[in-house]
């Protein structure tokens, strides 16, 4: 995945650059800019006479920590400061040179570089937002599905995550119906069968008037869709070889999540009288 096209990632980087800028401004509030000497002969800044050494050091350490968080900013934007005879430098990670006897950068270089990086990031975010397609938030999936898949997913086991989620879903249906006597595909077909419930064979029905066209469509669709899901989503994941692509796996989890929510909305219908015939 190309993170430079992800608006959320770019905003995180931009926030890190803002944190660096704020820390650097606080550092500079405690320091004076060196004047009266040719560039490169003395540090570009020195602590103010009213600033204790340990305070100046603590401020510098805060800037260093912020620079560590924002170190990717120059890489992804390509913003560098050119120094004649020395090359180009990242204004964020090289900021500390202003405290050295022979500084590579000046204070203005750090400010200018940060401003250019922030401007470039704003442009990248705006562009990424216009290019980003709708995506699925894995953590927003049905709790049953994400509960079974989450740990495996975070460890990078996408195929196993799909298999585990599918098995958790069918296990829930087995528990609801008390069925463990047929294959999983047949269970889906029988659970949503149009036939009345029988002893040991309860049904799940979409709520509402069964003669209503939408209700009938949902019941017919669930019978076919869930059986197809078992064959295409669960079985292909369980019997496949090699790791599954993240996007492919996430789309399969989304299907399982949708079915899990439908199952939640269905009503369990039990036989009114003992009947051994369907």
Half-sphere exposure of 26 (CA within 13 A, CB side): 17
pLDDT score at 39: 65
E-state strands within the chain: 31-33, 45-47, 81-83, 87-89, 203-205, 267-269
Give the C-alpha separation, 276 to 278, whole Å: 7
The answer to whether residues 10 and 128 touch, using CB atoms and an 8 Å cutoff, is yes
User: φ, ψ for residue 166 (rounded to 5)?
Assistant: -65, -40
Encoded tokens for 29: 């509030």
Half-sphere exposure of 171 (CA within 13 A, CB side): 9
The answer to whether residues 44 and 91 touch, using CB atoms and an 8 Å cutoff, is no
**Residue 88 CB partners (closer than 8 Å, separation 6+):** 80, 81, 82
- Kindly list the distances between the CA atom of residue 92 and the CA atoms of 13, 34, 118, 246, 274, in Å, as whole numbers in the listed order: 12, 20, 12, 34, 77
The answer to whether residues 44 and 33 touch, using CB atoms and an 8 Å cutoff, is yes
**Residue 44 CB partners (closer than 8 Å, separation 6+):** 33, 34, 97, 98, 99, 103, 105, 106, 107
Encoded tokens for 193: 């069968």
User: φ, ψ for residue 122 (rounded to 5)?
Assistant: -60, -40
pLDDT score at 272: 79
**Residue 123 CB partners (closer than 8 Å, separation 6+):** none
Query: If DSSP codes are grouped into helix, strand and coil, which group holds residue 86?
Result: coil
Query: If DSSP codes are grouped into helix, strand and coil, which group holds residue 134?
Result: coil
The answer to whether residues 30 and 48 touch, using CB atoms and an 8 Å cutoff, is yes
- Rounded mean pLDDT for each run of 10 residues along the chain, 278 residues in total: 79 96 97 81 92 96 97 95 93 96 93 96 89 64 94 91 96 95 93 93 94 94 95 91 88 95 96 55
């Amino acid at each position: 995945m190309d993170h430079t096209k992800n608006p959320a990632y770019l905003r995180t980087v931009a926030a890190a650059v803002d944190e660096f800028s704020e820390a650097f401004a606080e550092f500079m509030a405690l320091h004076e800019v060196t004047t009266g000497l040719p560039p490169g002969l003395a540090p570009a800044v020195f602590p103010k006479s009213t600033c204790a050494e340990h305070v100046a050091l603590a401020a510098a350490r805060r800037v260093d920590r912020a620079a560590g968080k924002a170190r990717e900013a120059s890489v992804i934007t390509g913003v560098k400061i050119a120094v004649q005879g020395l090359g180009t430098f990242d204004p964020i990670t090289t900021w500390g040179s202003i405290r050295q006897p022979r500084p590579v950068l000046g204070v203005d270089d750090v400010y200018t570089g940060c401003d250019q990086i922030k401007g470039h990031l704003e442009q990248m975010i705006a562009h990424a937002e216009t290019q980003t397609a709708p995506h699925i938030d894995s953590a927003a999936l049905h709790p049953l599905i994400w509960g079974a898949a989450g740990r495996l997913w975070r460890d990078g086991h996408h195929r196993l995550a799909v298999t585990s989620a599918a098995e958790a879903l069918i296990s829930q249906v087995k528990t609801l119906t008390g069925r463990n006597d047929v294959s999983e595909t047949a269970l889906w077909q029988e659970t949503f069968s149009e036939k009345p419930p029988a002893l040991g064979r309860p049904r799940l029905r979409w709520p509402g008037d069964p003669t209503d066209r939408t209700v009938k469509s949902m019941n017919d669709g669930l019978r076919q869709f869930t059986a197809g899901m078992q064959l295409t989503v669960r079985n292909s994941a369980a019997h496949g070889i090699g790791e599954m692509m993240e996007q492919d796996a996430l789309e399969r989890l989304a299907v399982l999540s949708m079915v899990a929510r439908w199952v939640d909305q269905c009503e369990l219908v039990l036989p009114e009288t003992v009947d051994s015939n369907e």
